[in-house]
Structure 1
């Protein structure tokens, strides 16, 4: 099971360092001059784009007037943890934004996810994951494909963790009618989805076709909350590979309202019926019938 990695610790460290600098009444330019750094170095550290060595951190904290050993140890531990990369063995197979998402999920208290096209990655069975991996990265073959699938399934260990977040998933009905991997795989996937919806701490809702056009059709997104330890984070995935994170309060609030609006359009009690209807539509269909597959990572 992965533990909160560098991306989470680095974000916490940057937040604490900015607070400490503000409390000391110093600007970034003033600190850079005192440390004999280029201003861009401090800017990158406070943006969480790079780590910071323990020696640099000690000197920086001295400039901020932080000499209490307990506070020093807290900052130093954040700095050390910020260099420990989870899923290191899968670098080169998984995009950096996706690896960052895995770290954020482990540290979150609540995860809200909306998907208009595919079943969310945390709820996928292995065959479905393999089919979407091939669709998203057709160049993956052999061992590289197996390792990519392994990484995505490893992510699901979080669902069985004692300290897992509370999960809320909303899926557009289109996702349960797309025969990803063929009708046989899709039937198994939908039965798995139905079972997962009965687990405590996991909410799954489906926005039915009868709703018509809705705000969620703009694209998938994930919202992560952290019990006040960090700002809420919004993850916007782009199939072109330029997925982005944002902790802008206005953006996270707007997407939270969007999620609540989608929840209101997707009654929980309708999920079994919608899944059964999708499975009935596949009955009698030859397994060899081709399917069109679209994939995203989250």
Structure 2
């Protein structure tokens, strides 16, 4: 049996620590006071934002009255295994919230998502990434831009091999119509998307404009499912301002899973490769979708 990823082990550990504190009838503030920690330290440990040292974990378990040797050793192993989180080397360019997203993404067995702003990061070409970051003002220095591109391309390694996650993505039609970087960038991006549409672990569907108003207008979201026993599903939400929210509460993940099924039913998904190639072929240098509408009338 393969060893669970560091992200999965940290998620398990935070769940177990919350349960142990609840069973002990203690609040976060009470525990922080007894441990002589700032309340934020315990909050971050229970949120999975930071690792907990073995010594701190032993002290916590003693405070919670956890004395069972087998349970204690299991939790200590989780602490040891969760130290090295994926993509932690990119702390200089990513927020802690997005690093948590990357941890979920790299550990999930099934990923479902709805997108209506841009192509999902796992599917973006390098040229598209650079154009998107430059246009949205996220790049900053050339060095930071290179780091962001490097990290996004590194994420795409989950598409390689046979043991990566299954990906189910519903894209609003605007995603494939919006010419990020112009036709010269968008055409190869759409060709890449067409290639991925025939990938054995990737399913791409497009939600046409003709659907009108729909559940996804509340914002894009990503759902993660895990093969490990006891790992709850998680959902990650992000809006255009960069604010994000993640939850593994069943009432939240359940609501978004229902929304995903509804969007998937409304979307077009049969034989998407030729559809995407036709959209790519329809792009012409120097003109956009509104060109016929905005062109000056002939005299």
User: Could you say if the C-alpha distance between residues 195 and 234 of structure 1 is closer, same or farther in structure 2, counting changes exceeding 3 Å?
Assistant: same
Structure 2 matches for 1:140-159, cutoff 5 A? 140-159=140-159
Give the Cα–Cα distance (whole angstroms) in 2 for the partners of residues 264 and 29 of structure 1.
Answer: 43
CA shift, 1:27, in A, is 2.7
Q: What residue number does 1:199 align with?
A: 199
Q: What residue number does 2:248 align with?
A: 247
Q: What residue number does 1:263 align with?
A: 264
Query: Is residue 187–residue 281 contact of structure 2 (8 Å, CA) maintained in 1?
Result: no
Q: State the number of aligned residues.
A: 284
Q: What residue number does 1:164 align with?
A: 164
Give the Cα–Cα distance (whole angstroms) in 2 for the partners of residues 141 and 28 of structure 1.
Answer: 44
Give the Cα–Cα distance (whole angstroms) in 1 for the partners of residues 101 and 198 of structure 2.
Answer: 25
User: Could you say if the C-alpha distance between residues 276 and 86 of structure 1 is closer, same or farther in structure 2, counting changes exceeding 3 Å?
Assistant: closer
Give the TM-score of the pair, scaled to structure 1. Answer: 0.84
Structure 2 matches for 1:36-75, cutoff 5 A? 36-37=35-36, 40=39, 42-75=42-75
Q: What residue number does 1:103 align with?
A: 103
Give the Cα–Cα distance (whole angstroms) in 1 for the partners of residues 27 and 99 of structure 2.
Answer: 30
Query: Is residue 114–residue 222 contact of structure 1 (8 Å, CA) maintained in 2?
Result: yes
User: Could you say if the C-alpha distance between residues 169 and 58 of structure 1 is closer, same or farther in structure 2, counting changes exceeding 3 Å?
Assistant: same
Q: What residue number does 2:31 align with?
A: 32
Q: What residue number does 1:234 align with?
A: 235
Query: Please, which runs of 5 or more residues in structure 1 have no aligned partner?
Result: 292-298
Give the Cα–Cα distance (whole angstroms) in 2 for the partners of residues 36 and 119 of structure 1.
Answer: 46
Give the TM-score of the pair, scaled to structure 2. Answer: 0.83
If asked which structure has higher relative contact order (CA below 8 Å, sep 6+), I would say: 1
Query: Is residue 8–residue 107 contact of structure 1 (8 Å, CA) maintained in 2?
Result: yes
Query: Is residue 194–residue 277 contact of structure 2 (8 Å, CA) maintained in 1?
Result: no
Query: Is residue 114–residue 169 contact of structure 1 (8 Å, CA) maintained in 2?
Result: yes
Deviation digits for residues 30-89 of structure 1 (CA, Å, limit 9, x no counterpart): 973995546935555334354433122123323445445443332112223333233233
Deviation digits for residues 172-205 of structure 1 (CA, Å, limit 9, x no counterpart): 1111111112212211111111111111121110
Deviates more, 1:68-77 or 1:186-195: 68-77
CA shift, 1:245, in A, is 0.8
Query: Is residue 51–residue 79 contact of structure 1 (8 Å, CA) maintained in 2?
Result: yes
Query: Please, which runs of 5 or more residues in structure 2 have no aligned partner?
Result: 290-299
Cα-Cα RMSD = 2.8
Query: Is residue 166–residue 202 contact of structure 2 (8 Å, CA) maintained in 1?
Result: yes
Query: Is residue 112–residue 223 contact of structure 1 (8 Å, CA) maintained in 2?
Result: yes
Q: What residue number does 1:294 align with?
A: none
